[in-house]
């Protein structure tokens, strides 16, 4: 085993245990994301929507966002490592990567909520967005009504002259 000055055998055990727990947390987040992806594809098929590259692109963005959060949690756990080894606290608190576990738990719960969300709720959100786009389009038409009326009048005059 590689000797690091100032670390004894207990410190090595703490570091190894933290690494295993962090890897477990990262794997849990990955499994939760894959489950959400699977059920998301199933939901889109159930409402007759085809899977597109845009949906997969959002999944990749979510993956990058989630693992950047997990990486920051790992940084906080690493910064807390010397403090946890030197403190006279219980072994469980020394070993547990608290920030990574809390971050992973939050992300897994988010994915669980997404899986439990019904397909009709997703369809309703999409419909609400489309409705808002239609309303915005109507307001644009109202704003441009004078130019539209002028265009119609010009077309009528040209028709009458022919």
Contact at 8 Å (CB) between 97 and 77?
yes
Lowest mean pLDDT among 6-15, 39-48, 108-117, 118-127: 118-127
Containing 87, the helix (H) or strand (E) segment is none
Contact at 8 Å (CB) between 28 and 108?
yes
Report pLDDT for 144. Answer: 76
Written as six digits, the tokens of 143 are 């704003």
Report pLDDT for 55. Answer: 78
CA–CA distance, 131 with 128 (Å, rounded to integer): 5
Percent of the chain with pLDDT over 70: 80
How does pLDDT run across 52-98, given as a tens digit for each residue? Answer: 788 788 889 999 999 999 999 999 988 887 777 677 776 667 778 88
Report pLDDT for 80. Answer: 80
Written as six digits, the tokens of 90 are 């219980």
């Amino acid at each position: 085993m590689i000797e690091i000055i100032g670390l004894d055998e207990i410190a090595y055990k703490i570091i190894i245990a933290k690494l295993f727990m962090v890897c477990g947390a990262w794997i849990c987040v990955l499994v939760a994301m894959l489950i959400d992806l699977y059920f998301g594809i199933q939901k889109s098929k159930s409402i007759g929507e085809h899977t597109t590259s845009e949906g997969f692109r959002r999944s990749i963005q979510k993956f990058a966002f989630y693992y950047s959060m997990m990486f920051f949690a790992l940084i906080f756990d690493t910064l807390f490592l010397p403090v946890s080894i030197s403190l006279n606290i219980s072994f469980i608190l020394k070993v547990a990567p608290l920030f990574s576990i809390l971050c992973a738990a939050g992300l897994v719960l988010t994915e669980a909520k997404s899986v439990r969300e019904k397909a009709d709720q997703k369809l309703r959100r999409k419909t609400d967005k489309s409705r808002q786009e239609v309303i915005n389009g109507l307001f644009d038409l109202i704003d441009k009504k004078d130019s539209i009326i002028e265009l119609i009048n010009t077309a009528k005059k040209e028709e009458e002259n022919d």
